[in-house]
Structure 1
Amino acid sequence: MNEPIALNLSAVIQLTDEQFYTLAVSQPDRIKLERNSNGEIIVLTPHGAETSNRNGRLLAQLFVWTDQNEDLGLAFDSDTQFKLPNGANRSPDAAWVRREAWDALSDKERQVFPSLCPDFVVELRSPSARLKPLQDKMQEYMDNGARLGWLINRQDRQVEIYRAGQPKQVLNFPQNLSGEDVLPGFVLDLTKIW
């Protein structure tokens, strides 16, 4: 399995948010960087074609719902990185942010990695990804203000649902998922994802 590589550069340099942004966006398309709350830079491996296709199908459904409910918020793909309150920079496979939170950002903040945690996040496990780091990442989102999160584990045909202030729920091979009160009326058709 291809594991993300964590680089601890703190002995050499402490990157500011602006420096990390410049570093992250200056990489070739095949290299994606995140930063954990300890300041370590995480080099992520690219997805294969099948995972990318499934993620596109997920995003298509989320974006259609968002367009139909644009007054509620905005959807984002995996190229968007968020600066979480704990200092980490994370890129969920799909995310959604309430309109009020987005509108509270300045124009400059919208152009870089916005300093906020999405209200809704999705991680789609690729064949090369270990489950535990993804579970930790989902918990990090919840600890930083996410209200709803889905970890879609295609290998085991399971979905882990994370809700603010509640224990994780595991569903075996569900055919759809509800956006509940976070994304009212949104239902993800998982038959396009499995």
Structure 2
Amino acid sequence: MSLTVKDLEKLQKQAPDYRMELVNGSIRVMSPSGYESDEVAFRFGRRLADWVEPQRIGRVTGSSAGFTLPDSNTRAPAVSFVRAERLRRAPRSCAQLAPDLMVEVKSPTDSIEDLEQKINNFLQQGTRVGILINPETHLVTVFRPDTEAIQFTDGEILTVPDLLPGWQVQISDLWSPVFDEFEEQE
């Protein structure tokens, strides 16, 4: 039996504490991502939103914002960006389009292959840039349709000039900080 977006919405109302995606007619319950991967996603999203919002060029969302793609899958990237001219008003439910940029962050339970497959599905549905962030290896991989992936490591600067001209982020700024020493607040 192949499920639909309506089925997903009904199940989501019945179990609001669970994040779900609709993939090829089946419901996937998404597990919590893990602390580090969520912190990395937040750090990326915050840096992107801090640049996008003052310019009013689009919307940046986190992992709970779903997209119903042209192939009828409903997926939720860790971070996404949609240009303002494509989504003038935020929908109350899932956006009925592919985001311009989508980001996935590897958690301890994720496989790189599954994340790359998800990114490629988004690219096939109209997403212009997909980014895979791996906190375990400090590696960021940028995917675009019909081109070879590009990898970035610590010491390098990530840019997306074809979509976000002028935006940049140091790869090393994405990782969770380590607090070796700290002073106790009085």
Aligned to 1:34: 21
CA RMSD of aligned residues (A): 1.8
DSSP-derived class of the 2:87 partner = helix
Residues matched between the structures, number: 175
Question: CA offset at residue 28 of structure 1?
Answer: 4.2
Runs of 4+ in structure 1 displaced over 6 angstroms? none
Q: 1:33 to 1:171 in 2, by over 3 A?
A: same
Aligned to 1:22: 10
The match for 1:186 among 159, 167, 172 is 167
5+ unaligned residues in a row in structure 1: which ranges?
A: 1-9
Q: 1:42 to 1:174 in 2, by over 3 A?
A: farther
Question: CA offset at residue 92 of structure 1?
Answer: 0.5
* TM-score normalised to structure 2 length: 0.86
Instruction: Verify: 1:58 aligned to 2:55, yes or no.
Output: no
Q: Find the aligned partners of 1:141 and 1:176 in 2 and give their Cα distance.
A: 24
Amino acid at match of 1:73: G
Q: Do the aligned partners of 2:65 and 2:94 also contact (CA within 8 Å) in 1?
A: yes
Aligned to 2:62: 77
Q: Find the aligned partners of 1:148 and 1:65 in 2 and give their Cα distance.
A: 17
Question: CA offset at residue 176 of structure 1?
Answer: 2.5
Q: Do the aligned partners of 2:20 and 2:29 also contact (CA within 8 Å) in 1?
A: yes
The match for 2:146 among 140, 157, 165 is 165
5+ unaligned residues in a row in structure 2: which ranges?
A: 176-186
* TM-score normalised to structure 1 length: 0.82
Amino acid at match of 1:51: S
Point out the structure with max Rg over C-alpha: 2
Q: Find the aligned partners of 2:141 and 2:118 in 1 and give their Cα distance.
A: 12
More displaced, 83-92 or 153-162? 153-162
Q: Do the aligned partners of 1:54 and 1:192 also contact (CA within 8 Å) in 2?
A: no
Q: Find the aligned partners of 1:25 and 1:182 in 2 and give their Cα distance.
A: 35
Q: Do the aligned partners of 1:159 and 1:173 also contact (CA within 8 Å) in 2?
A: no
